[in-house]
Amino acid sequence: MKVLEVDLVNLVGNIILAAGYISYVGPFTAKYRVRLLKMWMKFATAKRIPFSADFAVDRILGDPVQIREWNIQGLPADDLSLENGIICTQAKRWPLLIDPQSQGNKWIKNMEKDNNITACKLSHPKFLQIVETGIRLGQPVLLENIDETLDPSLEPVLQKNVVKQQGSWTIRLGDTWVPYSMDFRFLITTKLANPHYLPEICIKVTVINFTVTPDGLEDQLLVDVVAYEQPELEQQKDQLVVQLSDFKRQLQEIESKILKLVSEASDDILNDEELIITLDQSKQTSIAINERMVEAEKTAKMINENRENYRSVARRGSVLYFVVADLALIDPMYQYSLEFFTRLFNRRLDKSEKSKVLEERL
C-alpha cells in the first residue's frame, strides 16, 4: 500500500516522462538522452507535476523477466540497449533502427524467431508480396539494410491506414485490399552509421539509435568479463531476476484473488470463511515474500559492487575496439565487425595469463 500510494501520486508525472522518452529520445546518444530527461524533470518540478525521484524508463515500462529474455536473445545488457529495446517494443509507430554493428538486427531475428519472422531487402523483387503475406498471417516482417529513402508503396503500412470493411480490418496495399491481422509487426533496420532521413520519413517511424557507444560497449564487455571470470556471479544475478519476478507474480495473484472474493462477497463479509482464510494466508505469504525481496535486493547490490572490480578490463576493450574501427578511415580494407572483435576479446580472456590475485589478473 505504501508503494502504491506513492506511485499513485507520481503516476501523472511518471507517465508524461515515459511517453516523452518513447516519443522523442530514440535518435539520440545516451548522454544526450540523460540531458533531455533532466530538462524535462526540471520542467515538471517547476510546473509542480509530481514524479518519482528515481525515475527510470525500465522501472516504469520494463518487465525484468522480459528484459532478461531479451538479453538471452542477443540484446546487449547495457542501459542504452535496454532502453532501445523498450522503445522498440512499446512505441506506437513502427521502429527504424540505426544499426551499423547489426546488434539490433540480430536481436530482432532471435526475438521474433518463434513468430516466423521474414527478413527482406528493398531490392528483393517480391518484397511487397512478403509484406502482404506478413499482414495476412500476422507475422513480423524485417526490412533490412535500407538507405535514406523508403519505397512509396510502404506508405499505408507505415501510416497504419487500417479500415474496417464488413466487420474485419483491411489495408490497401498497391491496388488490392488485404485482410489486416493485428499481430502483424513491421521493423526496419539500416547499416548506415549517420543517415539523414527527411522529416516525412521521421514522422512515420520511431527512429532508434542502436549505434554502439564507448560507454555502451564498456558495459557489454563487462558482462562478458564477469561471465567468464565469475560465472557464479552472473548466474546468481539471473536467478535473482527470476526470483524477484516470481515473488511479484505471487503477490499479484494473491491481490487479484482477494479483490475477486471481496467483489463477490455477501452483505456480511465476516461470514465469508473463504475470504477470511485467503486474507490470512495472503498476509503470511506477503510478509515472507517481502523479507525475501529485501534480502534479494541486498544481494543484487553486492553483486553489482563485485562486477565493478572488472570495469578496467572492459574499458580497455572498448577503447581498443574504437581504435580498430577508426582504422577504416585510413583504408577501407581495415574493416572489422563488432562481432569479430567480441570473439577476439573473449578468446583473449581464455588465453591470457591466469592469476588468483585480482590486480595481477586485471
Identify whether the C-beta of residue 83 lies closer than 8 Å to the C-beta of residue 58.
yes
For the record, the C-alpha cell of 187 comes out as: 521493423
For the record, the C-alpha cell of 272 comes out as: 465469508
Interatomic CA distance for residues 340 and 284, integer angstroms: 52
pTM over cut 0.85: no
pLDDT in the model for residue 128: 92
pLDDT in the model for residue 279: 84
pLDDT, tens digit (0-9, with 9 covering 90-100), for 247-279: 777 878 888 888 888 888 777 777 778 888 888
pLDDT confidence tier of residue 68, bands split at 50, 70 and 90: confident
pLDDT confidence tier of residue 33, bands split at 50, 70 and 90: very high
Q: Is the dihedral of CA 72, 74, 80, 83 positive or negative?
A: negative
Third-level CATH fold of 92-211: Rossmann fold (3.40.50)
Mean per-residue pLDDT, 136-157? 94
For the record, the C-alpha cell of 14 comes out as: 511518471
Is residue 163's pLDDT more than 90? Answer: yes
The mean-pLDDT minimum among 16-20, 42-46, 326-330 falls in 326-330
Mean per-residue pLDDT, 141-161? 94
Domain ranges of the chain: 1-82, 92-211, 217-361
pLDDT in the model for residue 186: 97
pLDDT, tens digit (0-9, with 9 covering 90-100), for 119-146: 999 999 999 999 999 999 999 999 999 9
| Cβ neighbours for 84, distance < 8 A, ≥ 6 positions apart | 26, 97, 104, 208, 209, 210
Q: Which residues on adjacent β-strands are paired with residue 98?
A: 190, 209
Neighbours of 171 (CB within 10 A): 19
